[in-house]
Structure 1
Amino acid sequence: MPVIATAAWSIPRGVAEHFAAEGSGLTRYASVFKGVEVNSTFYKPHRASTYVRWADSVPDDFRFALKLPKAITHEQRLIDIGPLFDDFLEEIEPLADKIGPLLCQLPPSLVYDPVVVEPALFALRQRFKRQIVIETRHKSWQSPEVLSLLERHAVDRVLADPAPVWPADTFPMPPVYVRLHGAPKIYYSTYEDPEIDRFRRLLAADSWCVFDNTASGAAIRNALTMIGRSV
Protein backbone atom coordinates (compact mmCIF):
# COMPACT_ATOMS: atom_id res chain seq x y z
CA MET A 1 0.00 0.00 0.00
CA PRO A 2 1.35 3.50 -0.76
CA VAL A 3 2.53 5.70 2.08
CA ILE A 4 -0.21 8.29 2.47
CA ALA A 5 0.95 11.14 4.67
CA THR A 6 0.79 14.82 5.47
CA ALA A 7 3.34 17.57 5.89
CA ALA A 8 3.82 17.64 9.69
CA TRP A 9 1.52 15.83 12.08
CA SER A 10 -0.93 18.37 13.49
CA ILE A 11 -4.31 16.71 14.12
CA PRO A 12 -7.37 18.99 13.86
CA ARG A 13 -9.87 18.55 16.66
CA GLY A 14 -12.62 17.64 14.20
CA VAL A 15 -10.90 14.39 13.19
CA ALA A 16 -9.30 13.50 16.51
CA GLU A 17 -11.56 10.46 16.97
CA HIS A 18 -9.73 8.69 14.13
CA PHE A 19 -6.48 8.58 16.11
CA ALA A 20 -5.21 7.01 19.31
CA ALA A 21 -6.43 8.94 22.34
CA GLU A 22 -3.14 8.82 24.26
CA GLY A 23 0.44 9.85 23.53
CA SER A 24 2.20 12.74 21.85
CA GLY A 25 0.87 14.30 18.68
CA LEU A 26 3.34 12.30 16.62
CA THR A 27 2.47 9.03 18.37
CA ARG A 28 -1.22 9.63 17.77
CA TYR A 29 -0.58 10.54 14.12
CA ALA A 30 1.49 7.35 13.67
CA SER A 31 -1.40 5.25 14.97
CA VAL A 32 -3.03 5.87 11.55
CA PHE A 33 -0.32 6.92 9.09
CA LYS A 34 2.88 5.11 8.11
CA GLY A 35 4.91 8.19 7.21
CA VAL A 36 5.19 11.94 7.53
CA GLU A 37 6.94 14.69 5.61
CA VAL A 38 9.08 16.93 7.85
CA ASN A 39 9.34 20.46 6.46
CA SER A 40 10.85 22.03 9.57
CA THR A 41 14.27 20.69 8.54
CA PHE A 42 14.15 23.21 5.69
CA TYR A 43 14.09 26.12 8.13
CA LYS A 44 16.42 25.10 10.95
CA PRO A 45 18.52 22.23 12.28
CA HIS A 46 17.19 20.05 15.08
CA ARG A 47 19.00 18.58 18.05
CA ALA A 48 19.90 14.91 18.09
CA SER A 49 17.58 14.46 21.07
CA THR A 50 14.66 15.68 18.94
CA TYR A 51 15.27 13.01 16.32
CA VAL A 52 15.69 10.36 19.00
CA ARG A 53 12.35 11.39 20.51
CA TRP A 54 10.67 11.26 17.12
CA ALA A 55 12.10 7.83 16.35
CA ASP A 56 10.98 6.51 19.73
CA SER A 57 7.45 7.87 19.20
CA VAL A 58 6.56 5.78 16.14
CA PRO A 59 6.40 2.10 15.12
CA ASP A 60 9.38 0.39 13.50
CA ASP A 61 7.84 0.55 10.02
CA PHE A 62 7.15 4.30 10.17
CA ARG A 63 9.24 6.55 7.91
CA PHE A 64 10.18 10.24 7.92
CA ALA A 65 10.52 12.04 4.60
CA LEU A 66 12.85 14.98 5.25
CA LYS A 67 13.12 18.24 3.36
CA LEU A 68 16.65 19.43 2.60
CA PRO A 69 17.71 22.65 4.37
CA LYS A 70 17.20 25.95 2.59
CA ALA A 71 20.95 26.55 2.92
CA ILE A 72 21.39 23.83 0.27
CA THR A 73 18.53 24.64 -2.08
CA HIS A 74 17.80 28.35 -1.68
CA GLU A 75 20.96 29.98 -0.33
CA GLN A 76 23.72 27.98 -2.00
CA ARG A 77 21.31 27.16 -4.86
CA LEU A 78 22.95 23.73 -5.28
CA ILE A 79 26.49 25.14 -5.57
CA ASP A 80 29.23 23.43 -3.49
CA ILE A 81 26.70 21.67 -1.29
CA GLY A 82 28.75 18.64 -0.23
CA PRO A 83 29.76 19.90 3.24
CA LEU A 84 26.26 21.22 3.97
CA PHE A 85 24.75 17.88 2.98
CA ASP A 86 27.26 16.06 5.17
CA ASP A 87 26.10 18.20 8.10
CA PHE A 88 22.47 17.41 7.36
CA LEU A 89 23.07 13.67 7.15
CA GLU A 90 24.89 13.78 10.46
CA GLU A 91 22.00 15.73 11.96
CA ILE A 92 19.32 13.20 10.93
CA GLU A 93 21.42 10.13 11.73
CA PRO A 94 19.49 9.36 14.97
CA LEU A 95 16.46 8.44 12.86
CA ALA A 96 18.50 5.53 11.45
CA ASP A 97 16.31 3.11 9.47
CA LYS A 98 13.29 5.37 9.88
CA ILE A 99 14.74 7.84 7.37
CA GLY A 100 12.53 7.84 4.29
CA PRO A 101 12.95 9.88 1.10
CA LEU A 102 14.95 13.10 1.14
CA LEU A 103 13.07 15.92 -0.57
CA CYS A 104 14.96 18.54 -2.56
CA GLN A 105 12.51 21.37 -3.29
CA LEU A 106 14.06 24.08 -5.44
CA PRO A 107 13.08 27.76 -5.54
CA PRO A 108 10.92 28.92 -8.47
CA SER A 109 13.77 31.13 -9.65
CA LEU A 110 16.34 28.36 -9.94
CA VAL A 111 16.96 27.86 -13.66
CA TYR A 112 18.28 24.53 -14.85
CA ASP A 113 22.03 24.73 -15.44
CA PRO A 114 23.80 21.40 -15.99
CA VAL A 115 27.11 22.91 -14.84
CA VAL A 116 25.54 23.40 -11.40
CA VAL A 117 23.00 20.61 -11.26
CA GLU A 118 25.12 17.64 -12.28
CA PRO A 119 27.78 18.12 -9.56
CA ALA A 120 25.02 18.73 -7.03
CA LEU A 121 23.19 15.52 -7.86
CA PHE A 122 26.48 13.65 -7.79
CA ALA A 123 27.23 15.08 -4.33
CA LEU A 124 23.80 14.03 -3.03
CA ARG A 125 23.90 10.54 -4.49
CA GLN A 126 27.50 9.88 -3.49
CA ARG A 127 26.61 10.50 0.14
CA PHE A 128 23.07 9.07 0.38
CA LYS A 129 22.20 5.76 -1.26
CA ARG A 130 18.49 5.71 -0.49
CA GLN A 131 15.63 7.58 -2.13
CA ILE A 132 16.08 11.22 -3.16
CA VAL A 133 13.23 13.13 -4.81
CA ILE A 134 13.29 16.56 -6.42
CA GLU A 135 10.57 19.16 -6.90
CA THR A 136 11.53 21.82 -9.42
CA ARG A 137 9.49 24.95 -10.07
CA HIS A 138 11.12 26.63 -13.08
CA LYS A 139 10.01 25.56 -16.55
CA SER A 140 13.62 25.32 -17.76
CA TRP A 141 13.64 21.89 -16.09
CA GLN A 142 11.14 20.66 -18.71
CA SER A 143 13.53 18.88 -21.03
CA PRO A 144 14.68 15.37 -22.00
CA GLU A 145 18.19 16.36 -20.88
CA VAL A 146 16.93 16.88 -17.32
CA LEU A 147 15.11 13.55 -17.29
CA SER A 148 18.24 11.77 -18.49
CA LEU A 149 20.37 13.46 -15.83
CA LEU A 150 17.95 12.59 -13.04
CA GLU A 151 17.78 8.99 -14.21
CA ARG A 152 21.56 8.77 -14.32
CA HIS A 153 21.79 9.82 -10.68
CA ALA A 154 18.71 7.82 -9.59
CA VAL A 155 16.88 10.94 -8.40
CA ASP A 156 13.09 10.76 -8.77
CA ARG A 157 10.82 13.57 -9.89
CA VAL A 158 8.05 14.81 -7.62
CA LEU A 159 4.56 15.01 -9.07
CA ALA A 160 3.29 18.24 -7.53
CA ASP A 161 -0.16 19.77 -7.61
CA PRO A 162 -0.28 22.45 -8.89
CA ALA A 163 2.37 21.20 -11.34
CA PRO A 164 4.49 24.07 -12.71
CA VAL A 165 6.97 21.77 -14.46
CA TRP A 166 5.93 18.10 -14.60
CA PRO A 167 2.19 17.40 -14.84
CA ALA A 168 0.87 13.89 -14.35
CA ASP A 169 0.87 13.04 -18.06
CA THR A 170 4.67 13.41 -18.18
CA PHE A 171 5.14 10.41 -15.87
CA PRO A 172 5.24 7.20 -17.94
CA MET A 173 5.45 5.16 -14.73
CA PRO A 174 3.62 5.74 -11.45
CA PRO A 175 5.21 8.68 -9.60
CA VAL A 176 7.16 7.63 -6.53
CA TYR A 177 6.46 10.86 -4.65
CA VAL A 178 3.36 13.07 -4.95
CA ARG A 179 2.96 16.42 -3.14
CA LEU A 180 -0.56 17.85 -3.11
CA HIS A 181 -0.29 21.50 -2.14
CA GLY A 182 -3.93 22.40 -2.66
CA ALA A 183 -5.56 24.08 -5.65
CA PRO A 184 -6.59 26.70 -6.55
CA LYS A 185 -5.36 28.21 -3.25
CA ILE A 186 -2.00 26.64 -2.42
CA TYR A 187 -1.72 25.27 1.12
CA TYR A 188 -5.40 26.00 1.82
CA SER A 189 -7.72 24.41 -0.75
CA THR A 190 -9.21 21.04 0.04
CA TYR A 191 -9.40 18.18 -2.44
CA GLU A 192 -12.81 16.77 -3.28
CA ASP A 193 -13.35 13.02 -3.42
CA PRO A 194 -13.06 12.71 -7.25
CA GLU A 195 -9.68 14.51 -7.15
CA ILE A 196 -8.47 12.26 -4.35
CA ASP A 197 -9.54 9.22 -6.36
CA ARG A 198 -7.69 10.55 -9.42
CA PHE A 199 -4.42 10.91 -7.55
CA ARG A 200 -4.89 7.60 -5.75
CA ARG A 201 -5.11 5.80 -9.10
CA LEU A 202 -1.73 7.21 -10.09
CA LEU A 203 0.10 5.62 -7.16
CA ALA A 204 2.10 2.41 -7.05
CA ALA A 205 2.45 0.21 -3.99
CA ASP A 206 5.73 1.92 -3.04
CA SER A 207 4.67 5.51 -3.81
CA TRP A 208 4.39 8.33 -1.30
CA CYS A 209 1.46 10.76 -1.43
CA VAL A 210 1.84 13.80 0.84
CA PHE A 211 -0.97 16.28 1.45
CA ASP A 212 0.63 19.68 1.99
CA ASN A 213 -2.60 21.71 2.19
CA THR A 214 -2.07 22.09 5.92
CA ALA A 215 -2.87 25.78 6.45
CA SER A 216 -6.61 25.14 6.58
CA GLY A 217 -6.40 21.75 8.29
CA ALA A 218 -7.53 20.04 5.08
CA ALA A 219 -4.45 17.83 4.77
CA ILE A 220 -5.35 15.34 7.49
CA ARG A 221 -8.95 15.10 6.32
CA ASN A 222 -7.90 14.52 2.72
CA ALA A 223 -5.30 11.93 3.74
CA LEU A 224 -7.85 10.05 5.84
CA THR A 225 -10.19 10.03 2.86
CA MET A 226 -7.48 8.61 0.61
CA ILE A 227 -6.64 5.91 3.12
CA GLY A 228 -10.31 4.98 3.34
CA ARG A 229 -10.46 4.60 -0.42
CA SER A 230 -7.28 2.48 -0.49
CA VAL A 231 -8.45 -0.42 1.68
Structure 2
Amino acid sequence: MQSERPSAVVGCAGWSLSRQYAAHFAAQGTHLQRYGARLGGVEINSSFYRPHRRETYVRWAESVPDDFRFSVKAPKLITHGQRLQGCEQLLDLFISQCSGLGAKLGCLLVQLPPSLTFDEAVAEAFFAALRQRFAGGVVLEPRHASWAAAEPLLQAQRIARAAVDPSRLSGDSTPAGWSGLRYWRLHGSPRIYHDSYDTSQIQSLAVELVAAARAGAQSWCIFDNTASGAAVGNALELAELTDHSSLN
Protein backbone atom coordinates (compact mmCIF):
# COMPACT_ATOMS: atom_id res chain seq x y z
CA MET A 1 0.00 0.00 0.00
CA GLN A 2 3.02 2.25 -0.01
CA SER A 3 4.31 4.37 -2.86
CA GLU A 4 6.76 2.60 -5.16
CA ARG A 5 9.11 5.60 -5.11
CA PRO A 6 11.34 5.90 -2.04
CA SER A 7 10.16 8.82 0.04
CA ALA A 8 10.52 10.59 3.36
CA VAL A 9 7.32 11.09 5.34
CA VAL A 10 7.40 13.79 8.01
CA GLY A 11 4.60 14.55 10.42
CA CYS A 12 3.21 14.55 13.93
CA ALA A 13 1.32 12.26 16.28
CA GLY A 14 -2.09 13.70 15.45
CA TRP A 15 -3.04 16.72 13.38
CA SER A 16 -3.70 19.33 16.04
CA LEU A 17 -2.38 22.72 14.95
CA SER A 18 -0.69 24.57 17.79
CA ARG A 19 -1.50 28.25 18.05
CA GLN A 20 2.07 29.45 17.57
CA TYR A 21 2.27 27.76 14.14
CA ALA A 22 -1.30 28.31 12.93
CA ALA A 23 -0.18 31.03 10.51
CA HIS A 24 1.80 28.41 8.56
CA PHE A 25 -1.43 26.70 7.54
CA ALA A 26 -4.45 27.71 5.47
CA ALA A 27 -7.16 29.53 7.39
CA GLN A 28 -9.99 27.46 5.89
CA GLY A 29 -10.80 23.76 6.13
CA THR A 30 -10.76 21.12 8.83
CA HIS A 31 -7.64 20.70 10.94
CA LEU A 32 -6.73 17.60 8.92
CA GLN A 33 -7.22 19.37 5.58
CA ARG A 34 -5.06 22.27 6.70
CA TYR A 35 -2.43 19.95 8.17
CA GLY A 36 -2.35 17.70 5.10
CA ALA A 37 -1.72 20.63 2.78
CA ARG A 38 1.63 21.29 4.49
CA LEU A 39 2.86 17.98 5.93
CA GLY A 40 3.12 14.60 4.23
CA GLY A 41 2.03 12.18 6.93
CA VAL A 42 0.52 11.67 10.35
CA GLU A 43 0.50 9.02 13.05
CA ILE A 44 -2.97 8.12 14.36
CA ASN A 45 -2.62 7.29 18.06
CA SER A 46 -6.30 7.42 18.98
CA SER A 47 -6.76 3.97 17.40
CA PHE A 48 -4.70 2.61 20.29
CA TYR A 49 -7.42 3.60 22.76
CA ARG A 50 -10.64 3.16 20.80
CA PRO A 51 -11.78 1.80 17.43
CA HIS A 52 -12.72 4.05 14.53
CA ARG A 53 -15.30 3.07 11.94
CA ARG A 54 -14.08 2.28 8.44
CA GLU A 55 -16.16 5.23 7.24
CA THR A 56 -14.15 7.53 9.49
CA TYR A 57 -10.90 6.36 7.92
CA VAL A 58 -12.41 6.85 4.46
CA ARG A 59 -13.35 10.42 5.36
CA TRP A 60 -9.86 11.13 6.66
CA ALA A 61 -8.30 9.76 3.47
CA GLU A 62 -10.55 11.98 1.37
CA SER A 63 -9.37 15.03 3.34
CA VAL A 64 -5.70 14.86 2.27
CA PRO A 65 -3.66 14.90 -0.97
CA ASP A 66 -2.95 11.72 -2.91
CA ASP A 67 0.65 11.44 -1.70
CA PHE A 68 -0.24 11.86 1.99
CA ARG A 69 0.32 8.80 4.22
CA PHE A 70 -1.14 7.65 7.52
CA SER A 71 0.53 5.50 10.16
CA VAL A 72 -2.04 3.78 12.39
CA LYS A 73 -1.28 2.52 15.89
CA ALA A 74 -2.52 -0.98 16.69
CA PRO A 75 -5.16 -1.22 19.44
CA LYS A 76 -4.13 -1.52 23.07
CA LEU A 77 -6.39 -4.55 23.35
CA ILE A 78 -4.08 -6.42 20.97
CA THR A 79 -0.73 -5.32 22.38
CA HIS A 80 -1.44 -4.80 26.08
CA GLY A 81 -4.64 -6.76 26.66
CA GLN A 82 -4.10 -9.92 24.62
CA ARG A 83 -0.31 -9.39 24.67
CA LEU A 84 -0.12 -10.52 21.02
CA GLN A 85 -1.88 -13.85 21.68
CA GLY A 86 -5.18 -15.02 20.21
CA CYS A 87 -5.54 -11.81 18.20
CA GLU A 88 -6.84 -13.09 14.88
CA GLN A 89 -10.37 -11.68 15.15
CA LEU A 90 -9.09 -8.41 16.61
CA LEU A 91 -6.64 -8.08 13.72
CA ASP A 92 -9.41 -8.76 11.22
CA LEU A 93 -11.50 -5.96 12.72
CA PHE A 94 -8.64 -3.45 13.02
CA ILE A 95 -7.33 -3.98 9.51
CA SER A 96 -10.82 -3.90 8.04
CA GLN A 97 -11.35 -0.52 9.71
CA CYS A 98 -8.08 1.20 8.86
CA SER A 99 -8.04 -0.20 5.32
CA GLY A 100 -10.61 2.51 4.68
CA LEU A 101 -7.55 4.71 4.16
CA GLY A 102 -6.86 2.82 0.92
CA ALA A 103 -3.51 3.63 -0.70
CA LYS A 104 -2.93 6.32 1.92
CA LEU A 105 -2.37 3.70 4.63
CA GLY A 106 1.40 3.90 4.89
CA CYS A 107 2.08 1.57 7.80
CA LEU A 108 0.90 0.08 11.07
CA LEU A 109 2.62 0.79 14.39
CA VAL A 110 2.75 -1.96 17.01
CA GLN A 111 3.85 -0.53 20.38
CA LEU A 112 4.43 -3.09 23.13
CA PRO A 113 4.10 -2.65 26.89
CA PRO A 114 7.37 -2.51 28.88
CA SER A 115 6.43 -5.73 30.67
CA LEU A 116 6.09 -7.79 27.48
CA THR A 117 9.20 -9.90 27.03
CA PHE A 118 10.20 -11.54 23.78
CA ASP A 119 8.73 -15.02 23.34
CA GLU A 120 9.75 -16.27 19.93
CA ALA A 121 6.76 -18.59 19.49
CA VAL A 122 4.25 -15.91 20.46
CA ALA A 123 5.91 -13.23 18.31
CA GLU A 124 6.26 -15.53 15.30
CA ALA A 125 2.58 -16.53 15.48
CA PHE A 126 1.45 -12.92 15.87
CA PHE A 127 3.46 -11.54 12.96
CA ALA A 128 2.49 -14.49 10.76
CA ALA A 129 -1.18 -13.74 11.50
CA LEU A 130 -0.61 -10.06 10.81
CA ARG A 131 1.18 -10.76 7.54
CA GLN A 132 -1.64 -13.04 6.38
CA ARG A 133 -3.91 -9.99 6.64
CA PHE A 134 -1.67 -7.04 5.77
CA ALA A 135 1.19 -6.78 3.28
CA GLY A 136 2.12 -3.14 3.89
CA GLY A 137 4.59 -1.47 6.21
CA VAL A 138 4.70 -2.57 9.85
CA VAL A 139 6.73 -0.89 12.60
CA LEU A 140 7.41 -2.46 15.99
CA GLU A 141 8.25 -0.46 19.10
CA PRO A 142 9.28 -2.94 21.80
CA ARG A 143 10.00 -1.65 25.28
CA HIS A 144 11.73 -4.62 26.90
CA ALA A 145 15.42 -5.38 26.34
CA SER A 146 14.72 -9.03 25.50
CA TRP A 147 13.35 -7.98 22.09
CA ALA A 148 16.93 -7.48 20.90
CA ALA A 149 16.77 -11.20 20.12
CA ALA A 150 13.88 -10.64 17.69
CA GLU A 151 16.02 -9.24 14.90
CA PRO A 152 16.02 -12.39 12.69
CA LEU A 153 12.24 -12.65 13.00
CA LEU A 154 11.76 -8.98 12.12
CA GLN A 155 13.92 -9.39 9.06
CA ALA A 156 12.05 -12.50 7.95
CA GLN A 157 8.63 -10.88 8.36
CA ARG A 158 9.67 -7.46 6.97
CA ILE A 159 8.99 -5.68 10.26
CA ALA A 160 10.85 -2.45 11.00
CA ARG A 161 11.86 -1.50 14.54
CA ALA A 162 11.32 2.12 15.47
CA ALA A 163 14.01 4.50 16.62
CA VAL A 164 12.84 6.26 19.77
CA ASP A 165 13.83 9.45 21.55
CA PRO A 166 14.25 9.62 24.48
CA SER A 167 15.86 6.20 24.25
CA ARG A 168 14.32 3.53 26.47
CA LEU A 169 16.45 0.52 25.54
CA SER A 170 20.00 -0.08 24.45
CA GLY A 171 20.13 0.32 20.68
CA ASP A 172 16.69 1.85 20.20
CA SER A 173 18.00 5.30 19.27
CA THR A 174 18.46 4.14 15.66
CA PRO A 175 16.08 2.26 13.36
CA ALA A 176 16.53 -1.50 13.16
CA GLY A 177 14.68 -4.57 11.93
CA TRP A 178 13.76 -4.74 8.23
CA SER A 179 15.71 -2.12 6.31
CA GLY A 180 12.98 -1.41 3.76
CA LEU A 181 11.24 0.84 6.28
CA ARG A 182 12.96 3.28 8.66
CA TYR A 183 10.82 4.96 11.33
CA TRP A 184 11.72 7.58 13.94
CA ARG A 185 9.37 8.43 16.87
CA LEU A 186 10.55 11.54 18.67
CA HIS A 187 8.88 12.55 21.93
CA GLY A 188 10.99 15.56 22.93
CA SER A 189 13.89 15.55 25.36
CA PRO A 190 14.95 16.07 28.03
CA ARG A 191 11.35 17.05 28.90
CA ILE A 192 9.36 14.33 27.18
CA TYR A 193 6.30 15.41 25.15
CA HIS A 194 7.19 19.10 25.62
CA ASP A 195 10.69 20.07 24.53
CA SER A 196 11.51 21.08 20.97
CA TYR A 197 14.44 19.78 18.93
CA ASP A 198 16.98 22.39 17.89
CA THR A 199 18.03 23.15 14.33
CA SER A 200 21.20 21.05 14.48
CA GLN A 201 19.17 18.02 15.57
CA ILE A 202 16.64 18.61 12.80
CA GLN A 203 19.41 18.91 10.23
CA SER A 204 20.92 15.60 11.38
CA LEU A 205 17.53 13.95 11.12
CA ALA A 206 17.10 15.27 7.59
CA VAL A 207 20.40 13.69 6.57
CA GLU A 208 19.33 10.33 8.01
CA LEU A 209 15.88 10.38 6.43
CA VAL A 210 17.20 11.31 3.00
CA ALA A 211 19.97 8.68 3.24
CA ALA A 212 17.38 6.01 4.10
CA ALA A 213 15.19 7.06 1.16
CA ARG A 214 18.14 7.05 -1.23
CA ALA A 215 18.92 3.52 -0.04
CA GLY A 216 15.45 2.50 -1.17
CA ALA A 217 13.61 2.58 2.15
CA GLN A 218 10.37 4.26 3.07
CA SER A 219 11.53 6.65 5.78
CA TRP A 220 9.29 8.24 8.41
CA CYS A 221 9.81 10.77 11.17
CA ILE A 222 6.96 11.40 13.60
CA PHE A 223 7.15 14.09 16.27
CA ASP A 224 5.20 13.34 19.44
CA ASN A 225 6.37 16.36 21.45
CA THR A 226 2.86 17.72 21.15
CA ALA A 227 2.07 18.81 24.73
CA SER A 228 3.43 22.32 24.21
CA GLY A 229 2.89 22.44 20.45
CA ALA A 230 6.55 21.93 19.52
CA ALA A 231 5.85 18.98 17.23
CA VAL A 232 4.31 21.09 14.47
CA GLY A 233 7.27 23.47 14.32
CA ASN A 234 9.79 20.64 14.29
CA ALA A 235 7.85 18.81 11.55
CA LEU A 236 7.60 21.91 9.38
CA GLU A 237 11.33 22.54 9.68
CA LEU A 238 12.26 18.93 8.91
CA ALA A 239 9.80 18.70 6.02
CA GLU A 240 11.30 21.78 4.42
CA LEU A 241 14.80 20.30 4.63
CA THR A 242 13.78 16.93 3.19
CA ASP A 243 11.64 18.52 0.48
CA HIS A 244 14.69 20.43 -0.74
CA SER A 245 16.84 17.31 -0.90
CA SER A 246 16.85 14.96 -3.87
CA LEU A 247 15.38 11.59 -2.91
CA ASN A 248 16.16 9.92 -6.21
Per the TM superposition, whether the score is higher than 0.5 is: yes
Report deviation, 1:49. 2.9
User: Quick one: percent identity of the two aligned structures?
Assistant: 48
RMSD: 1.7
Q: What is the match of residue 115 of structure 1?
A: 121
Report deviation, 1:52. 2.2
SS in 2 for 1:229: helix
Mean alpha-carbon deviation: is it higher for 192-201 or for 9-18? 192-201
* Cα distance change, pair 169–21 in 1 and its aligned pair in 2 (3 A): closer
Cα distance in 1 for residues equivalent to 2:167 and 2:141? 10
Q: What is the match of residue 4 of structure 2?
A: none
**Residues 36-61 of structure 1: per-residue CA shift (max 9 Å, x gap):** 10000000011233222211111111
User: Are the counterparts in 1 of residues 162 and 172 from structure 2 also a CA contact under 8 Å?
Assistant: no
Query: Are residue 198 (structure 1) and residue 198 (structure 2) matched?
Result: no
Cα distance in 1 for residues equivalent to 2:241 and 2:24? 15
Cα distance in 1 for residues equivalent to 2:70 and 2:126? 23
SS in 2 for 1:142: helix
The match for 1:155 among 144, 154, 159 is 159
List gaps (5 residues or longer) in structure 1: none
Mean alpha-carbon deviation: is it higher for 31-40 or for 49-58? 49-58
The match for 2:142 among 124, 136, 140 is 136
> What residue identity is the alignment partner of 1:81?
C
User: Are the counterparts in 2 of residues 174 and 202 from structure 1 also a CA contact under 8 Å?
Assistant: no
Report deviation, 1:91. 1.3
Q: What is the match of residue 66 of structure 2?
A: 60
Report deviation, 1:171. 4.6
* Cα distance change, pair 56–175 in 1 and its aligned pair in 2 (3 A): closer
Query: Are residue 228 (structure 1) and residue 236 (structure 2) matched?
Result: no
Q: What is the match of residue 80 of structure 2?
A: 74
Count of residues in Structure 1 that have an aligned counterpart in Structure 2: 229
Mean alpha-carbon deviation: is it higher for 146-155 or for 45-54? 45-54
Any residues of structure 2 matched to 1:1-231 within 5 Å, and which?
1-143=7-149, 146-165=150-169, 166-168=171-173, 171=176, 176-203=182-209, 204-205=212-213, 206-230=218-242, 231=244
Cα distance in 2 for residues equivalent to 1:19 and 1:131? 29
User: Are the counterparts in 1 of residues 18 and 229 from structure 2 also a CA contact under 8 Å?
Assistant: yes
* Cα distance change, pair 48–127 in 1 and its aligned pair in 2 (3 A): closer
SS in 1 for 2:155: helix
Report deviation, 1:14. 1.4
* TM-score scaled by length of structure 1: 0.93
User: Are the counterparts in 1 of residues 161 and 175 from structure 2 also a CA contact under 8 Å?
Assistant: no
SS in 1 for 2:125: helix
Report deviation, 1:26. 0.2
List gaps (5 residues or longer) in structure 2: 1-6
